[in-house]
C-alpha cells in the first residue's frame, strides 16, 4: 500500500484518481504534524506553502515521488530529490489562465483605484473625486517574459485596445507575429511603457531584473505589476520610487518572503496587494490537483509520467552506456544556449561515428534540456524536451553521418537565429573525457566544465595579453586557456576557464577592449 501525504490545501475533487486507486492511502496533514510517520511516506503532494528541503527528504527514506500542484518548483530541492532518485512532477499549465486573469484583474483594479474606493465606501465615505483612474485603452503595456502566462496576458490586452510591447530574449519573430505584439528590448519597454508586468521565472538572471537602475529609465507615473515571483521586481527599489512619486502605483501578488509580514510597500495607498492568489481559482486548483493525482497514480502503476522534472526515461543498463554522451550533449546544449541568446528557431544536430550506435533521440532530448536550462521556468528533461521545443516553435533536426571529423565520434549542433548561426562540435574520448573541438567556425579543444569565457577577437598581437592583464588586475585566476584561429591576422577565439564565475564588472572591462568581436560567459 502506497502512503500519499497531501501536505498543502489541494482540491479534494482533483484527488479522485488517487482516491479511487486501491493501492494508495491518502493522509491530509502538514509535514510538521507530529502524527505523520514521515519515514513511511511514498509520495508527497504540495503547493508553494510546503518547502521540500534536503533535511525533510532525509526524514523520508521511502519517498518515491514529489508532486507540485502548480508550476513553480522553487520550494522543492530538486537536486537533492534527484540525487535520491525521487521523481519530481508538476502541473505546468493548469493555472496559466487563472494567473493571467488575476494579473489582468490586478491591473484594472490598480488603474481604477478599486480596492481603495471599496475601503472608503465601506467606511461610510463618498469621495468620488479622490478615486479618478485611468483607462487601459490606448496604454502601452510592457510584458517582460512572454511564456504561457505572458502570452495569455498579451491576448487579453489586445482585446482591451492596449499597445503591447514585449521583452523576452528567447522570443522568435514568428511567435511575436502570431500574437500580434511588438518585440522590444528591455530598455525600450522601460522607456516607453505606461504599465509594466513581469512574467519570467525567478532565476539568477531575473532576480532584481527590475531594480533601481531600471526604474530610473521609466516614464514618470509608470505602473508596475508582479504576479510571477517575488524578487524579479526589487521590492526596496519599488518602495523608494513609489515614495518619491516617480511610480504611479503597483500591484503585487508575490513577495520575496511569504508571508511578508510588515513590509515597506504597505504604507503607500497606491500599492495594492494580494496573498499569492494567482492560481487560487476553483478551476485552476481542480486542474492542477487532477494533473498531479493522475501523475502519481501513473507512476505507481509503473507507467511513464508526462510532466517529470528529473526522470531519465530509459533503463539503468542502457543509461550507463549512454551516460558519457548524455552529459556531453547536455553541456553542448547549455553552451549553445549561453552563446546564442536571441530567439533560436532551429537546432540541427549531427551524430557521427560510434555515438550513432546508441539511442541518439535520447541524446537530442538531453541536449535540449541543457539548452532550455535557465531559459524557461519549466524544468526540461528527457521526458518533455521535444514538446517544449515544439511549444517554443523551435525546429529540431537530427541526422546521422559517417564523417566524425577525425574523431571516433562527434556531436555537431548548429543553432539558427534570424540572421546568423552558431555551430559547436563535441566528442567523447575514452579514458580522457568530453571535449569541445569546434566553435563558431574555429577548431579548439577544451573540457566543457565549470566557469568559462568564450572570446572571439581579431588575431592581432597583444589581444591575449590585454585580456590577461584585465583579469589579473581584477585578481581573477585563469585556470586554463585554449586558443584557435583560421588564418593569421583574421579572427581567432580563446576559451578561458576560471575557478569562480566571472563578475559583471570584469566582463564589462573586457567588452570595452579593442579587437573583441564576441564575448560569452558560460556557466556549466
Ligand X SMILES: O=C(O)[C@H](O)COP(=O)(O)O
Ligand Y SMILES: NC(=O)c1ccc[n+]([C@@H]2O[C@H](COP(=O)([O-])OP(=O)(O)OC[C@H]3O[C@@H](n4cnc5c(N)ncnc54)[C@H](O)[C@@H]3O)[C@@H](O)[C@H]2O)c1
Interface residues toward ligand X, by CB under 6 A: 47-48, 70-72, 95, 276, 278-280
Residue from the set 104, 167, 422, 454 that interacts with ligand Y by CB under 6 A: 167
Please say if 229 is a catalytic residue. yes
Stretch that binds ligand Y, among 94-102, 354-362, 431-439, 456-464 (CB under 6 A): 94-102
Stretch that binds ligand Y, among 140-148, 318-326, 463-471, 509-517 (CB under 6 A): 140-148
CA separation for the pair 330, 312 (Å, rounded):
13
Please state the separation of Cα 61 from the chain's center in Å: 30
Please say if 276 is a catalytic residue. yes
Q: Which is nearer to ligand X, 22 or 259 (CB)?
A: 259
113 is in the binding site of which of ligand Y, ligand X, none (Cβ under 5 to 8 A by kind)? Answer: none
Annotated catalytic residue within 3, 229, 425, 457 = 229
Nearest-approach distance from CB 178 to ligand Y, in angstroms: 14
Q: Which is nearer to ligand Y, 147 or 312 (CB)?
A: 147
Closest CA relative to residue 202, chosen from 333, 374, 338, 53: 374
CA separation for the pair 317, 92 (Å, rounded):
30
Please classify residue 244 by burial: count the beta carbons closer than 10 Å to its beta carbon, then call 0-12 exposed, 13-18 middle and 19+ buried: exposed
Annotated catalytic residue within 47, 175, 199, 276 = 276
Nearest-approach distance from CB 157 to ligand Y, in angstroms: 15
Cβ atoms 495, 481 nearer than 8 A: yes
Residue from the set 26, 41, 71, 404 that interacts with ligand Y by CB under 6 A: 71
Nearest-approach distance from CB 516 to ligand Y, in angstroms: 23
Place of cell 553521418: 401
Binding of ligand Y by 205 (CB under 6 A): yes
Q: What is the DSSP letter of 360?
A: H
Closest chain position to ligand X (CB): 70
**Helix, strand, coil share of the chain (percent; to 5):** 35, 25, 40
Binding of ligand Y by 337 (CB under 6 A): no
Binding of ligand Y by 353 (CB under 6 A): no
Please, what sign has the CA dihedral across residues 131, 137, 143, 147?
positive
Please state the separation of Cα 196 from the chain's center in Å: 19
Binding of ligand Y by 197 (CB under 6 A): no
Closest CA relative to residue 201, chosen from 144, 153, 253: 144
Residue from the set 8, 77, 101, 168 that interacts with ligand Y by CB under 6 A: 168
Q: Across the chain, which distance is largest between two alpha carbons, in Å?
A: 84
Q: Which is nearer to ligand X, 278 or 333 (CB)?
A: 278
Within positions 368 to 407, which residues make up the interface with ligand Y, using CB under 6 A? Answer: 375-378
Backbone angles phi, psi at 123, to 5 degrees: -90, 15
Q: What is the DSSP letter of 45?
A: E
Q: Is 427 helix (H, G, I), strand (E, B) or coil?
A: strand
Stretch that binds ligand Y, among 33-41, 146-154, 346-354, 510-518 (CB under 6 A): 146-154
Give, in degrees to the nearest 5, the angle at Cα 82 between 379 and 206: 35
CA separation for the pair 58, 47 (Å, rounded):
20
Please say if 487 is a catalytic residue. no
Residues that bind ligand Y (CB under 6 A): 71-72, 95-96, 99, 144-150, 167-170, 199-202, 205-206, 227-229, 253-254, 276, 278-279, 375-378
Q: Which amino acids are annotated catalytic?
A: 229, 258, 276
Amino acid at each position: 500500500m502506497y502512503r500519499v501525504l497531501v501536505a498543502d490545501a489541494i482540491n479534494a475533487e482533483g484527488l479522485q484518481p488517487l482516491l479511487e486507486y486501491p493501492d494508495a492511502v491518502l493522509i491530509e496533514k502538514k509535514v510538521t504534524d507530529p502524527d505523520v510517520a514521515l519515514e513511511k511516506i511514498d509520495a508527497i503532494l504540495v503547493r508553494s506553502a510546503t518547502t521540500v528541503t534536503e533535511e525533510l527528504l532525509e526524514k523520508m527514506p521511502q519517498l518515491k515521488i514529489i508532486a507540485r500542484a502548480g508550476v513553480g518548483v522553487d520550494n522543492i530541492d530538486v537536486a537533492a530529490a534527484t540525487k535520491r532518485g525521487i521523481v519530481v512532477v508538476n502541473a505546468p499549465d493548469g493555472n496559466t489562465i487563472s494567473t493571467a486573469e488575476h494579473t489582468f484583474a490586478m491591473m484594472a483594479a490598480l488603474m481604477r483605484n478599486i480596492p481603495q474606493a471599496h475601503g472608503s465606501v465601506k467606511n461610510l465615505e463618498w469621495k468620488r473625486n479622490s478615486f479618478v483612474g485611468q483607462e487601459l485603452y490606448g496604454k502601452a503595456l510592457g510584458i517582460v517574459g512572454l511564456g504561457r502566462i505572458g502570452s495569455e496576458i498579451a491576448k487579453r490586452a489586445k482585446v482591451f485596445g492596449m499597445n503591447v510591447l514585449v521583452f523576452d530574449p528567447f522570443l522568435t519573430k514568428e511567435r511575436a507575429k502570431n500574437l500580434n505584439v511588438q518585440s522590444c528590448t528591455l530598455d525600450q519597454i522601460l522607456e516607453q511603457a505606461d504599465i509594466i508586468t513581469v512574467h519570467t521565472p525567478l532565476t539568477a538572471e531575473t532576480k532584481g531584473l527590475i531594480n533601481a537602475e531600471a526604474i530610473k529609465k521609466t516614464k514618470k507615473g509608470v505602473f508596475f505589476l508582479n504576479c510571477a515571483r517575488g524578487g524579479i521586481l526589487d521590492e526596496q527599489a519599488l518602495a523608494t520610487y513609489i515614495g518619491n512619486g516617480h511610480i504611479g502605483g503597483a500591484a503585487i501578488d508575490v513577495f520575496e518572503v511569504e508571508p511578508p509580514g510588515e513590509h515597506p510597500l504597505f504604507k503607500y495607498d497606491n500599492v495594492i496587494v494580494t496573498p499569492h492568489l494567482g492560481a487560487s481559482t476553483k478551476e485552476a486548483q481542480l486542474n492542477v490537483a487532477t494533473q498531479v493525482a493522475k501523475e502519481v497514480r501513473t507512476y505507481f502503476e509503473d507507467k511513464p509520467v508526462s510532466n517529470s522534472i528529473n526522470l531519465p526515461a530509459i533503463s539503468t543498463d542502457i543509461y550507463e552506456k549512454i551516460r558519457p554522451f548524455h552529459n556531453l550533449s547536455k553541456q553542448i546544449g547549455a553552451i549553445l544556449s549561453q552563446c546564442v541568446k536571441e530567439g533560436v528557431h532551429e537546432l540541427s544536430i549531427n551524430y557521427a561515428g560510434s555515438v550513432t550506435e546508441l539511442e541518439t533521440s535520447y541524446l537530442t532530448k538531453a541536449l535540449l534540456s541543457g539548452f532550455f536550462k535557465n531559459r524557461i521556468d519549466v524544468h526540461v528533461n528527457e521526458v518533455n524536451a521535444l514538446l517544449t521545443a515544439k511549444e517554443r516553435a523551435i525546429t529540431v533536426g537530427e541526422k546521422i553521418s559517417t564523417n566524425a571529423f577525425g574523431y571516433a565520434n562527434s556531436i555537431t549542433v548548429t543553432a539558427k537565429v534570424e540572421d546568423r548561426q552558431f555551430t559547436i562540435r563535441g566528442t567523447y574520448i575514452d579514458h580522457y573525457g568530453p571535449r569541445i573541438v569546434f566553435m563558431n567556425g574555429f577548431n579548439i579543444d577544451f573540457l566543457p566544465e565549470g566557469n568559462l569565457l568564450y572570446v572571439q577577437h581579431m588575431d592581432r598581437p597583444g589581444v591575449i595579453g590585454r585580456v590577461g592583464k584585465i583579469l589579473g588586475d581584477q585578481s581573477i585566476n585563469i585556470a586554463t586557456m585554449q586558443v584557435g584561429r583560421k588564418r593569421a591576422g583574421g579572427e581567432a577565439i580563446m576559451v578561458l576557464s576560471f575557478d569562480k564565475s566571472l563578475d559583471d564588472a570584469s566582463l564589462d572591462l573586457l567588452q570595452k577592449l579593442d579587437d573583441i568581436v564576441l564575448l560569452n560567459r558560460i556557466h556549466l
